[in-house]
Amino acid sequence: MVFEQIRTGGDRNFGYLIADPETKEAAVVDPSGAPDLFLLRIQRLGLKLRWILCSHSHWDHTGGINELKQGTDALLAMHGSAPMPLDRPLEDSDTLNLGKLALQIIHTPGHCDDAICILINGNLMTGDTLYVGKIGGTASDSDARKQYDSLHRKLMTLPEETKVYPGHDVGVRPSSTIGEEKRNNPFILQPDIQHFLHLKANWADYKKQHGIS
């Protein structure tokens, strides 16, 4: 399987290129500010772009969609609640075929309602739901509760060896695993929703106290 983590600029954004080496079918996740970079890799590797996916509808993940669509037959797939025209509206547990591979969609509302994580062969692209040692921001207590539920019910129930590939490079490493996040991520380590909300409200102080940049 082709699986490349690509730095796309913005706020240390990551996008991902995935392909089945046999059929050459490819998918791009979060093209963001670097559609040219993805097109170059697709050309170099002789791939056919089939899917463009975005982990959620924030501009720093969705930029570049039009450039990627031009001159390809690629279809845009995002969660059905995303506020944009979609070729393939997605919902929780959907599967997208990519040659002999399958992209599994996990709906993880919280950071925003249309947030999804995408799992392929034990590699989980987490967008702004989960970062290495951190999590994405939320706009309200109600969204934070949704995020808590998404993290614990949908992501932390995956096998510990599942690799975590975030939407931003804001941790100590560019990727980790579900097991490492369970052991090290202060938000995941909170024993209940009240402690989780408290940490969110006091994150700036916590970072200072613990020397987290």
Q: How far apart are CA 156 and CA 57, in angstroms?
A: 23
Find the shortest distance in angstroms from Cβ 112 to Fe ion. Answer: 7
User: Of 58 and 107, which CB lies nearer to Fe ion in the complex structure?
Assistant: 58
Find the shortest distance in angstroms from Cβ 127 to Fe ion. Answer: 7
Q: Does 134 bind Fe ion (CB under 5 A)?
A: no
Taking contact as CB under 5 A, which single stretch among the options 32-40, 127-135, 151-159, 204-212 is the one that binds Fe ion?
127-135
Find the shortest distance in angstroms from Cβ 142 to Fe ion. Answer: 17
Other Cβ atoms closer than 10 A to 137: 14
Q: How far apart are CA 176 and CA 166, in angstroms?
A: 9
Q: How far apart are CA 20 and CA 80, in angstroms?
A: 25
Binding test (CB under 5 A) with Fe ion, winner from 41, 50, 58, 79:
58
User: Of 26 and 151, which CB lies nearer to Fe ion in the complex structure?
Assistant: 151
Taking contact as CB under 5 A, which single stretch among the options 7-15, 42-50, 55-63, 204-212 is the one that binds Fe ion?
55-63
User: Of 137 and 186, which CB lies nearer to Fe ion in the complex structure?
Assistant: 137
Would you say 108 and 116 are in contact if contact means Cβ atoms under 8 Å apart? Answer: yes
Binding test (CB under 5 A) with Fe ion, winner from 25, 30, 114, 128:
128
Taking contact as CB under 5 A, which single stretch among the options 19-27, 41-49, 56-64, 82-90 is the one that binds Fe ion?
56-64
Residue whose C-alpha is closest to residue 115's, from 102, 129, 101: 129
Q: How far is CA 102 from CA 8, 51, 172, in A?
A: 24, 12, 30
Find the shortest distance in angstroms from Cβ 19 to Fe ion. Answer: 25
Residue whose C-alpha is closest to residue 115's, from 65, 184, 53, 198: 53
Q: How far apart are CA 168 and CA 158, in angstroms?
A: 21
Count of residues that interact with Fe ion, criterion CB under 5 A: 2
Q: Which residues contribute to the site for Fe ion (CB under 5 A)?
A: 58, 128
